[in-house]
Structure 1
Amino acid sequence: MVSSLSKAVKRVKDSISSKERSREDLKVGIAGFYDRSSQLWEKVWGEHMHHGYYVPENRTDHVQAQIDLIDEVLKWASVDAPAVKRAVDVGCGIGGSSRHLARKYNCVTEGITLSPYQANRGNDLAAEQGLTDQCNFQVADALDMPFKTGSFDLVWSLESGEHMPDKKQFVNELFRVARPGGRIIIVTWCHRDLEKGETSLTKSEMKLLKKINRAYYLPEWCSVQHYVDLLEAKGATDIRREDWSYIIAPFWKAVIKSSLNLRSVWGLINSGFSTQRGAYAMLLMLRGFNKGLIKFGLLTCTRPEGPGTPADSLKMIN
């Protein structure tokens, strides 16, 4: 009893101080957060656990806007549809993007998540939609994916990169599982690029991000430019980046508004403290966005043709 109480007190202190979590604590926390919150999200917003595409900005068909975001990102990245036979959805949620890709390209998709609930729900929905032969979901770590080197024509990560505590290893794994000539797409939340002469964000900016990290089980943030640097170091070709912060911005207000209706409030009450804290953190995210601190970054590149690294070869043998 005393031990349980002391642990609870420690969690409260860590939350108040926005203490950063260890890599293992992040994995456990992310899995638990999405195990508890995914069912509520699906009831309110459906199977796509990401933002929407708001062009024009006054559109109110929010579910369709989420689907359109997938299609617009694929268009922006110039994905060669006939070339996509196998795709991986890194940080797949309950598999909305995977199933959309499977139907769009008539391809096979693999989805990975840290949440057992999400993996099971993804497989259930694939069965309900007649996509069992095309879509498979499993619990796995994006920093050590259970796939052979060069397995996929399209490597897709939509709003999961922000959860990765080691961005370099994350990029390494995306490259490893992509086939030579394969397309890699990363859509992720980042902080602003540093200005010339800056060595870090301001103290107030870092304080705000730390509060968000505690709520959403996030590690330290990075900039879009940091991803570009990592991609260049891997020898990526056709690197492109873009900021779609204002394209997705109306979704924030829609999510916050939806959380105030009776069904959502009741769902929040029943879903536990971490989900409730995550709902509150939406306001912090909105504040960061309005300050120009938080960016919705798009990156795409091609894995270069040619032999892989020694590390690639070892994984291919295993």
Structure 2
Amino acid sequence: MSLWLILGIVLALLIAAVALYLFTARRYQSSDSVANSYDQWTEDGILEFYWGEHIHLGHYGSPPQRKDFLTAKADFVHEMVRWGGLDQLAPGTTVLDVGCGIGGSSRILARDYGFAVTGITISPQQVKRAQELTSNELDVRFQVDDAMSMSFPDASFDVVWSIEAGPHMPDKAVFAKELMRVLKPGGILVVADWNQRDARQTPLNGWERSVMRQLLDQWSHPEFASIEGFAEQLAATGFVAGEVITADWAEATLPSWLDSIWQGVARPEGLVRFGVPGLVKSLREVPTLLLMRLAFGTGLCRFGMFRAVRNRGYGAS
């Protein structure tokens, strides 16, 4: 095969990927658009192949250290457990994993900490795959549920846990109230999320608004909250005892974006497994990943951590 033919094939693939990126944006329309997006990502298996069982960012330390991509993702779960004080809780503690994906975090919480975990996602295909990946020996179950209107009674869980689900929620105040509603009095909420800079303090300029529009439209996000704004919405539920504790883990998670792109280079067997259509689908995500790296690296986006304790008064049952 001549060099010119190879270059021509590569160029054609890049053009196809760019065309997919430009003309097939996955804009948020309803919870169905989110469910459909995750169903497709789960069915084709590409996301799981490159990102593993944890469909969230990794934790590389602060300052960040070189680390295996998949190891960093598992480390994130343990770091979040410690940050939230969940490592002090007894085995058998009931945990609701909101936006559980294919169950990676749920399995760690059950296996390594002895928690009884219920994972929910809006995607039926994610529930199916999570069940396939989970040993019957673990105290974990998965179900389809809408985080904006959960099927659980008030005060159902000792811990409510959520990683990177918030950007898919169209009304952050409703999301905040649902998270706190299902938490038992004295229970702990721990949330990790993609957030944007608080525009009330520093308004977004033209290029920042353009970048944010792409980050929303490409991955079925209606809106990013700010760390300050979501903390205020949690406090406004009336369920929080004391203050909402926050942190920004942007620095510790930042290497994930370029590492996720590097997986396509470091694991060429994916081309054999998924073929040319899979390669085009993978390349289609590269611009969004690069924009995410730009946004988090410049402070336009932040990685918010939230911890709140449910009070023993208002709304308790």
So what's the TM-score if we normalise by structure 2?
Answer: 0.83
Q: Which amino acid aligns with 2:300?
A: L
Q: Which amino acid aligns with 1:259?
A: G
- Which of 244, 260, 263 aligns to 1:258? It is 263
Aligned equivalents of 1:91, 1:229: Cα separation in 2 = 22
Counterpart residue number, 2:164: 159
Q: Which amino acid aligns with 2:221?
A: L
Task: Describe how 1:203-214 pairs up with structure 2 within 5 A.
Answer: 203-214=206-217
Counterpart residue number, 1:54: 60
Q: Determine if contact 1:259/1:279 at 8 Å carries over to the other structure.
A: no
User: How has the CA–CA distance of structure 1 residues 32 and 59 changed in structure 2, closer, same or farther, with 3 Å as cutoff?
Assistant: same
- 1:193-244 CA distances to partner (integer Å, 9 max, x unpaired)? 2364x4x422321211111222111112221111111012123134111111
Aligned equivalents of 1:164, 1:214: Cα separation in 2 = 14
User: How has the CA–CA distance of structure 1 residues 82 and 229 changed in structure 2, closer, same or farther, with 3 Å as cutoff?
Assistant: same
What secondary structure, in the 3-state scheme, does the structure 2 residue paired with 1:221 have?
coil
Aligned equivalents of 1:228, 1:136: Cα separation in 2 = 29
User: Where does structure 2 lack aligned partners over 5 or more consecutive residues?
Assistant: 1-18
CA-based RMSD of the aligned residues comes to 2.7
Q: Which amino acid aligns with 2:291?
A: L
Q: Determine if contact 1:52/1:248 at 8 Å carries over to the other structure.
A: yes
User: Does 2:224 align with 1:216?
Assistant: no
- 1:76-117 CA distances to partner (integer Å, 9 max, x unpaired)? 122231286210110001101111111233121111112222
Aligned equivalents of 1:19, 1:69: Cα separation in 2 = 27
Q: Which amino acid aligns with 1:41?
A: L
Q: Determine if contact 1:26/1:219 at 8 Å carries over to the other structure.
A: no
What secondary structure, in the 3-state scheme, does the structure 2 residue paired with 1:122 have?
helix
Q: Which amino acid aligns with 1:251?
A: S
Counterpart residue number, 2:51: 45
- Which of 19, 23, 28 aligns to 2:30? It is 23
Q: Which amino acid aligns with 2:215?
A: I
User: How has the CA–CA distance of structure 1 residues 281 and 228 changed in structure 2, closer, same or farther, with 3 Å as cutoff?
Assistant: same
Q: Which amino acid aligns with 2:189?
A: I
User: How has the CA–CA distance of structure 1 residues 184 and 242 changed in structure 2, closer, same or farther, with 3 Å as cutoff?
Assistant: same
Counterpart residue number, 1:178: 183
So what's the TM-score if we normalise by structure 1?
Answer: 0.83
- Which of 111, 120, 127 aligns to 2:128? It is 120
User: How has the CA–CA distance of structure 1 residues 258 and 86 changed in structure 2, closer, same or farther, with 3 Å as cutoff?
Assistant: same
Aligned equivalents of 1:243, 1:175: Cα separation in 2 = 21
Q: Determine if contact 2:58/2:253 at 8 Å carries over to the other structure.
A: yes
Q: Determine if contact 2:69/2:260 at 8 Å carries over to the other structure.
A: no
Counterpart residue number, 2:4: none
Counterpart residue number, 1:34: 41
Q: Percent identity?
A: 33
Q: Determine if contact 1:269/1:276 at 8 Å carries over to the other structure.
A: no
Greater shift, 262-271 or 210-219, is seen at 262-271
Q: Which amino acid aligns with 2:287?
A: Y
Task: Describe how 1:1-318 pairs up with structure 2 within 5 A.
Answer: 21-24=28-31, 26-36=33-43, 39-55=45-61, 57-79=64-86, 80-82=88-90, 85-127=93-135, 130-131=137-138, 134-194=139-199, 196=201, 198=202, 200-235=203-238, 236-237=240-241, 238-260=243-265, 261-265=267-271, 267=274, 269-271=276-278, 276-308=283-315
User: How has the CA–CA distance of structure 1 residues 21 and 49 changed in structure 2, closer, same or farther, with 3 Å as cutoff?
Assistant: closer
User: How has the CA–CA distance of structure 1 residues 120 and 32 changed in structure 2, closer, same or farther, with 3 Å as cutoff?
Assistant: closer
Q: Which amino acid aligns with 1:263?
A: E
Aligned equivalents of 1:24, 1:258: Cα separation in 2 = 30
User: How has the CA–CA distance of structure 1 residues 108 and 233 changed in structure 2, closer, same or farther, with 3 Å as cutoff?
Assistant: same
Greater shift, 243-252 or 17-26, is seen at 17-26
Aligned equivalents of 1:227, 1:268: Cα separation in 2 = 42
User: Where does structure 1 lack aligned partners over 5 or more consecutive residues?
Assistant: 1-11, 314-318
Q: Which amino acid aligns with 2:115?
A: C
User: How has the CA–CA distance of structure 1 residues 171 and 271 changed in structure 2, closer, same or farther, with 3 Å as cutoff?
Assistant: farther
Kindly tell me the number of residue pairs found equivalent between the two proteins.
Answer: 293
